Amino acid sequence: MMKGLAARILLLCSTLGLWAQQPSEVVISATSGAKVVVGMAPVASTGLEDTLVAQEFTAVLQKDLDESGVFGMLRERTPATADAKAWSAAGADWLLIAKATRAGGGGFSLALQVLDARAEKGVFTKNYSAPAETFRTPGPMLRRTAHLVADDLVKTLTGERGVASTRMVFIRQVSPGVKELFQVDRDGANLIQLTSFGSLTLAPTVASDGRLAFVTYKGGTPEIWGQRKVNGPFERLYPNSKQEGLCFSPSWSPDGKRLAFVLGDRRGNADVMVLDLGSGRARRLTDGAGINTSPCWNPSGTQIAFTSDREGGPQIYLMQDDGSNLRPLTKEGAYNESPAWSPGGGKIAYVSRFEGKFDLFVYNLGEGKAYQITTGVSTSESPSWSPDERRLIFTSNRFGSMQLFTTDLSGKSIQRLSELGNCQSPKWTRSR
């Protein structure tokens, strides 16, 4: 919700991809400072088991809305009917009424209506559907629909689409000396292994259209592999001839036409490079002794943040995408690294080491000031922003092995994404 005032948001909902929508003009009033309390009537279903609907749709949607930051689910004193007055009396601001249908041929549809429980007026309607060949079993289909519903409701209230249907890619050690690339849904479900090289796979990066790039040792020395086309095969992107050095830390430019990366020599020096995917030519942006690493782009593709030890301990620096106007960002702390530029461009997350452990910080560029996000006895590493800029995903050893966690920007709402161990380098993406 908009802070400091009541918000009236007028939205005309549009068709989204495979999932058909019946457009509806929506006018919403919301008061600052409180979450919209959502009640959900029992889902009417045809051709689907009630238990499956409860587990894979209702529970998933409730969790998505609870974690959205703008909604809160009503779970106590809930009426057994779809009567708006009864739900309003129980404390609901909105009432969700849904009907799920599984056709004989395997196709699926869900009719959703959202009412202002107090005014007994409709605020949102949409029909979701998927053909039979989209999902092999109804469980994933129901989960996916729940995520889409949650994202639509967040957009209806805030004007910005939610992140329930987003995904994370990350590296996980599967055996000694072997690390592979994995993908998981925002809620930790639907784990998919994306590589099976039987070697070291490191440092994934995701383009705005979903293409992947990463470092692999499958050929013996580190090379950058990735996708030249959406859903295309993995192929070597650099070096494109004989080995020119040791390459690490690729990062897609926002337009998906360039890759920033690090090229190291055998003397221990490393510099930031930019590879033009069209021509295959790489240009050096930093030059000098020392280690320059972990490049990341601003949203417009005009600047790069990176880590450098050029003045002693590692610090975060900024430069233009041609290497000019190089200047330090962080000055406090002896060891700062792993910058991640926010989707809106106004913040940079990074990690800072103190007393042998790392914590997350966010530097507000407008204020010229850094804020500490995590504190404690555990280490927190590798921050990556959610697409809506409300949360960060990171890895932490607070329960032993390195696992995936998310946090809001206050550090007060830390959630473990899954119990998978030996994880590193997560990236949060909307486009996979």
The CA distance from 370 to 362, in Å, is 5
The CA distance from 283 to 153, in Å, is 45
The predicted model scores a pTM of: 0.89
Show contacts of 325-328: CB within 8 Å, 24+ apart: 326/286
Half-sphere exposure of 15 (CA within 13 A, CB side): 6
Give Cα separations from 124 to 10, 244, 344 (angstroms).
Answer: 11, 57, 28
The CA distance from 130 to 27, in Å, is 28
Task: List where CATH 3.40.50.10070 sits in the chain.
Answer: 7-158
pLDDT at 25: 32
What's the token pair of residue 309?
């030890």
Give Cα separations from 181 to 178, 215, 252, 302, 305 (angstroms).
Answer: 10, 10, 17, 29, 24
CA-CA-CA-CA dihedral for 229, 230, 232, 237, to nearest 10: 50
pLDDT at 16: 25
Helix %, strand %, coil % of the chain (to 5):
10, 45, 45
pLDDT at 73: 95
Task: List where CATH 2.120.10.30 sits in the chain.
Answer: 167-429
Output phi, psi for 324, to 5 deg: -85, 170
CATH class as words, domain 167-429: mainly beta
The CA distance from 278 to 101, in Å, is 47
The string of DSSP codes covering 270-307 is: EEEEEEETTT--EEE---SSSBEEEEEE-TTSSEEEEE
What's the token pair of residue 320?
């233009």
pLDDT at 131: 85
The CA distance from 274 to 121, in Å, is 54
- Tens-of-pLDDT digits for all 432 residues of the chain? 333 322 322 222 222 233 333 333 333 333 334 699 999 999 999 999 999 999 999 999 999 999 998 999 999 999 999 999 999 999 999 999 999 999 877 789 999 999 999 999 999 999 999 887 777 788 889 999 999 999 999 999 999 999 999 999 999 999 999 999 999 999 999 999 999 999 999 999 999 999 999 999 999 999 999 999 999 999 999 998 766 789 999 999 999 999 999 999 878 899 999 999 999 999 999 987 789 999 999 999 999 999 999 999 999 999 999 999 999 999 999 999 999 999 999 999 999 998 889 999 999 999 999 999 999 789 999 999 999 999 999 999 999 999 999 999 999 999 999 999 999 999 999 998
Give the strand order in the sheet containing 192-193: 192-193, 178-185, 167-175, 423-429
Q: Tell me the CATH number for domain 7-158.
A: 3.40.50.10070
> What residue has token string 């029992």?
42
pLDDT at 96: 97
The CA distance from 375 to 18, in Å, is 43
